[in-house]
Amino acid sequence: KQEVTQIPAALSVPEGENLVLNCSFTDSAIYNLQWFRQDPGKGLTSLLLIQSSQREQTSGRLNASLDKSSGRSTLYIAASQPGDSATYLCAVQTGANNLFFGTGTRLTVIP
């Protein structure tokens, strides 16, 4: 069964700093990988989707990379802002459309 791990579990940075969130998965036979953010008590917002054939995907200040062979993905956030404070979830999708979620990284950006 696919297992997804995210490190660190929590991260606190000063505003303006660049940061990297890590995601690893055990089975490289994935269809795609998605990064989400979840604000407290709310649903999930899709940030980026990387297809299994892609190496990276960018959206604004966010850049996600994928190394399928090593079972790793990173989410890079440039010039962090207090509004970026949230929990970031990584999820890998198998061919059955099932998303396997990591445990998340809780990010706090300090003004």
List residues binding other proteins (CB under 8 A).
31-32, 34, 36, 41-46, 49, 51, 89, 91, 93, 97-99, 101-104
Please, what is the minimum distance in Å from the beta carbon of residue 89 to other proteins? Answer: 7
- How many other C-beta atoms lie within 10 A of the C-beta of residue 33? 27
Please, what is the minimum distance in Å from the beta carbon of residue 111 to other proteins? Answer: 26
Query: What is the number of alpha carbons within 13 Å of residue 10 lying toward its C-beta?
Result: 2
Please, what is the minimum distance in Å from the beta carbon of residue 75 to other proteins? Answer: 16
* CA angle centred on 4, ends 3 and 5, rounded to 5°: 125
